[in-house]
Amino acid sequence: MKKYFSHYALICCIMVRMENKVSKSLRSGVSRRSFLGGAGDALALPWLVPASALGLDGTVAPSNRIVMAAIGIGRRGISDLRGWVLPERDVQFVAICDVRKERRDAVKDLVDKHYGTRDCAQYIDMKEVLARPDIDAILTATGDRWHAGVAILSMRAGKDVYTEKPASMTVREGQAVVATARRFGRVYQAGMQRLSEPNFVVCNELVRLGRLGEVKTVYAHLAPGGNVNLSRQWLPAEPQPPREEVDWDAWLGPCAWRPYNSSYLRGAWHRDHDLYTGIIGEWGSHTFAQCHDALGMEDTSPVFYPSLRTPVPDGLRMRFANGVEMVTVQRGWRGTCGVRYVGSEGWVSCADGYTMPEVSRPSLLADYQKILADYCVRTGYTGQNHLRQFLNSVKSRTKTIANPVMMHRSMTTVHCANIAQWLGRDMTWDPVKEEFVGDPEANRMLSRAQREGWQII
């Protein structure tokens, strides 16, 4: 019954507005006949307005929905879409842009089945989807080489952005993301989802609340094994498929050109210097961000980066200006993407799959729920998933936790650590000037040349 009263109220509102318009038109000398001739569409409105158009029956009115599209969707992007985007009732997903037909088709099939329509649009060229004025936000889950570029182009087009990590390939890319978000007033969230997971939140709160005493060492988990020295060799050329199947030029984007090889599409880009942030970036984009957040280092980076003079980045001791060391550790963890914080009064550790953080003494977690509740009050955190936090910020226009500055500074730590290993010498970093001290060769590696026709920054 409630919805019919709402329908009646809407119709009354329409009729009152029509009557006011008639009176105004007659006063201005417009004949009733000419006015009614132009108002036929309005008078022909159906007497029963669908409840979904009013946000009734548990639906969300179109005016309150966030219209989303995706640019570049792989396995991680499909997971985001299926698990975090489509279940949200205030989100309408309308378009997929991908340079690979198989992925465009897979996403369209998933989305259309979810909504029971055939409405999900498909694009090869991202400029076409970014030109749509109805789209509010972009999800991007490309390979490393495109994360910053898609985010920058999307924000320039007036879209808010949720991007998977690692969210930049160079320090200069990260700076450009920060500058673009500020200039265009965009909401941005990097896919460092552990910043929104309760166990990791409580770990970081124990540091911030001083429960561990003076914290002088934090440990960041990197994937076991791996070589920091990536390949700079092209894979052998294969016949290039038609653009409709794979737009190879767009797949490469700003990166250095090389001939088509299907192995790149199947993951071989993970071994290529031009396309990948390496073993440090793979998990460090998560664990370094956790450490930065816990230590209150959102807007800075370590000032010292040692070279291990070994291709395996295990035991890398990076030092912040206040003397706190962040150490990379590859083995000895019970889960993935873990962090461990050690203070004068105790320690805490957490990784994926932990039901609760591990602590040096049980009393540290005696008020686990209160710690989390107080954090929610202080920050506006809702305990929901990382992408939902982004959607909340899109509506409120508030800063996200994995905001551009947090992303840039923690990814700067990744890039500086990589450069120290690639050049094989210890490095001193100036986090204010954002450059290495007295090392022109290293400073030239803070950016990369972008291919002609694909320059973004």
Digits of tens for pLDDT over the chain (457 positions)? 333 334 434 434 433 344 444 344 433 443 333 333 333 333 333 334 444 444 555 568 888 999 999 999 999 999 999 999 999 999 999 999 999 999 999 999 999 999 999 999 999 999 999 999 999 999 999 999 999 999 999 999 999 999 999 999 999 999 999 999 999 999 999 999 999 999 999 999 999 999 999 999 999 999 998 899 999 999 999 999 999 999 999 999 999 999 999 999 999 999 999 999 999 999 999 999 999 999 999 999 999 999 998 999 999 999 999 999 999 999 988 899 999 999 999 999 999 999 999 999 999 999 999 999 999 999 989 889 999 999 999 999 999 999 999 999 999 999 999 999 999 999 999 999 999 999 999 999 999 999 999 999 9
What DSSP designation does 34 have?
H
Cis peptide before 166 (omega within 30 of 0): yes
Residue 145 near residue 255 (C-beta atoms within 8 A): yes
Claim to verify: residue 42 and residue 68 sit in the same structural domain: no
Claim to verify: residue 138 and residue 170 sit in the same structural domain: yes
Claim to verify: residue 421 and residue 289 sit in the same structural domain: yes
Question: Which residues touch 143 (CB under 8 Å, ≥6 apart)?
Answer: 72, 74, 269, 275, 276
Residue ending a domain, choose from 37, 54, 71: 54
Residue 289 near residue 312 (C-beta atoms within 8 A): no
Residue ending a domain, choose from 192, 217, 236: 192
Q: Which domain holds residue 383?
A: 194-228+276-387+404-444
Domain-embedded: residue 248:
no
CATH of the domain at 82: 3.40.50.720
Sign of CA dihedral 71, 73, 77, 83: positive
Claim to verify: residue 34 and residue 126 sit in the same structural domain: no
Domain-embedded: residue 43:
yes
Domain-embedded: residue 398:
no
Claim to verify: residue 93 and residue 217 sit in the same structural domain: no
Claim to verify: residue 30 and residue 137 sit in the same structural domain: no
Question: Which residues touch 227 (CB under 8 Å, ≥6 apart)?
Answer: 279, 311, 312
What DSSP designation does 84 have?
I
CATH of the domain at 333: 3.30.360.10
Claim to verify: residue 211 and residue 113 sit in the same structural domain: no
Domain-embedded: residue 84:
yes
Cα dist from 230 to 208, 222, 266, 398, 425, whole Å: 37, 16, 17, 38, 18
Residue 418 near residue 228 (C-beta atoms within 8 A): yes
The C-alpha atoms of residue 267 and residue 250 are separated, in whole angstroms, by 17
Claim to verify: residue 92 and residue 224 sit in the same structural domain: no
Domain-embedded: residue 234:
no
The C-alpha atoms of residue 256 and residue 83 are separated, in whole angstroms, by 34
Q: Which of these, 278, 218, 323, lies nearest to 420 by C-alpha position?
A: 278
Strand order in the sheet with 435-436: 358-359, 346-350, 339-343, 215-221, 325-329, 317-319, 304-305, 427-430, 435-436
Domain-embedded: residue 380:
yes
Domain count, the chain: 3
Claim to verify: residue 10 and residue 74 sit in the same structural domain: no
Domain-embedded: residue 220:
yes
Claim to verify: residue 302 and residue 422 sit in the same structural domain: yes
Claim to verify: residue 125 and residue 150 sit in the same structural domain: yes
Claim to verify: residue 84 and residue 168 sit in the same structural domain: yes
Question: Which residues touch 345 (CB under 8 Å, ≥6 apart)?
Answer: 211, 212, 213, 214
Domain-embedded: residue 37:
yes
